[in-house]
Amino acid sequence: MYADWLSGIPAFSDHPLLRWAFALTLGAALFFAIGAALRLLRARLQRPAARPLMRAVAQVLQRTSHFVLLVMAILISAEIAAAPMPWSGRNAQHLWFVVLALQLALWLDRAVDVGLEQALASRGQVNTVTATLFRFLLRTLVWIVALLAMLDNLGVNITALVASLGIGGVAVALAVQTILSDLFASISIGLDKPFEAGDFIVFGQVAGSIEHVGLKTTRIRSLGGEQIVCSNTELLKQTIQNYKRMQQRRIVFTVRVTYQTDVERAAAVPGLIRAQIERQPDTRFDRAHLARFGDNALEYEAVYYVMTADYNRYMDIQQEINLGIMRELEAADIALALPERLVHITRRGGPAAPPQPPAYQ
């Protein structure tokens, strides 16, 4: 319709250069008009009152390519002006598909970044190496699919290409399966977060603080000061105890008093222990009982909770409890039991010696 209208003007009927001049002028106008419309749309989507999804869409639209917009504007204007093309109509369709696929890939590439940023921000702190690797894999997938779609539209037989890539991928995967296993283990650590840098963990015979989680290995600073490097795959196969995430520590300890203690004073010992535990801050008393009759002592078992994961703080509290129990037992004239052994001595070739009093060691 536009071509017929222009053909009615004598100046345009037989002058392809004039048609192209008109097409380029119209294309420039379309380019600036579309760019202005996109800027206006982004401004409306980025308003403070807009929903997070709308702001995310605005960030994706920022990846719109000016080159792609210019090519699209020229193609539209050339169609309107019926400017002579140096290629056939089918080639024009291929060009349209390539341009649209390229712009769609750019938007998806940006959408991956925006989506991962929002997803990781909602999960809190995430290992940056793992986040970067995950972003790289998704963006690579987007561009591979876009490239294959372009080649298929241009008439390239991608079946053999995909098959060869698949065979080559299997061969590479078999050759580097250990490395790939560690890479995916690193992604699992970053997403599931069984531990983070700074956490104190124990697994097997290893105890230490996490220094760095890499693509292949995790570095741990042990209590002895040396650095331990462990494969990510082997680390995830272990049962890991993460002490940094401990909210409270359950403590069980025993107090042993002699059998010379009478019943009334023996019955008062649990109360003495409880009073010493409740006197300390950051503790929660659970129980204290005469648990058993030992070989040479009355054994009291006490249980309480320290409301912090700090091991040094726990030891300070336990020390104050032990000293307090010693003071209270001494004031109540109750003796702590010591390990004892009864020794009988006999004379060779003579009568047995009279029993001796117990010897304490």
Whether the CB-CB separation of 76 and 24 falls below 8 Å is answered with no
Cα dihedral sign for 10, 11, 12, 14?
A: positive
Using DSSP bridges, classify how beta strands 298-306 and 340-341 pair: parallel, antiparallel or unpaired.
unpaired
The predicted-structure confidence for 170-223, as pLDDT tens digits, reads as follows 655 555 566 777 777 877 777 778 888 888 889 888 889 998 888 788 899 988
Q: What is the rounded CA–CA span in Å between residue 113 and residue 136? A: 10
- Judged by average pLDDT, the poorest of 42-51, 102-111, 152-161, 231-240 is 152-161
Whether the CB-CB separation of 223 and 207 falls below 8 Å is answered with yes
pLDDT score, position 353: 58
* Mean pLDDT rounded to a whole number for the chain: 79
DSSP letter at 355 equals P
Q: What is the rounded CA–CA span in Å between residue 212 and residue 198? A: 8
Backbone angle region of 155, left / alpha / beta, with phi > 0 → left and psi within -120 to 50 → alpha:
left
Question: What b/e string do you get for 29-64 counting C-beta neighbours within 10 Å, with b at 16 or more?
Answer: ebbeebeeeeeeebeebeeeeeeeeebbbbbbbebb
pLDDT score, position 2: 47
Cα 318 to the center of its chain, rounded Å: 35
Q: What is the rounded CA–CA span in Å between residue 74 and residue 19? A: 12
Half-sphere exposure of 207 (CA within 13 A, CB side): 6
3 state SS of 282 = coil
The predicted-structure confidence for 19-29, as pLDDT tens digits, reads as follows 777 777 887 88
Helix segments in the chain, DSSP class H: 2-7, 10-13, 16-45, 52-61, 66-81, 89-122, 128-153, 158-175, 177-192, 232-236, 263-279, 311-331
Better-scored residue on pLDDT, 166 or 55? 55
The predicted-structure confidence for 259-280, as pLDDT tens digits, reads as follows 999 999 999 999 999 999 999 9
Average pLDDT estimate for 229-247: 86
pLDDT score, position 323: 95
Nearest Cα to 248, choosing from 319, 321, 304, 315?
A: 304
What band does 161 get if pLDDT is binned at 50, 70 and 90? low
Whether the CB-CB separation of 332 and 276 falls below 8 Å is answered with no
pLDDT score, position 241: 87
Evaluate if residue 361 carries a pLDDT over 60: no
Better-scored residue on pLDDT, 33 or 6? 33
What band does 297 get if pLDDT is binned at 50, 70 and 90? very high
pLDDT score, position 167: 61
The predicted-structure confidence for 43-55, as pLDDT tens digits, reads as follows 877 777 667 777 7
pLDDT score, position 1: 46
pLDDT score, position 335: 92
Average pLDDT estimate for 85-110: 76
Q: What is the rounded CA–CA span in Å between residue 354 and residue 358? A: 12
| Percent of the chain surpassing pLDDT 70 | 77
Evaluate if residue 350 carries a pLDDT over 80: no
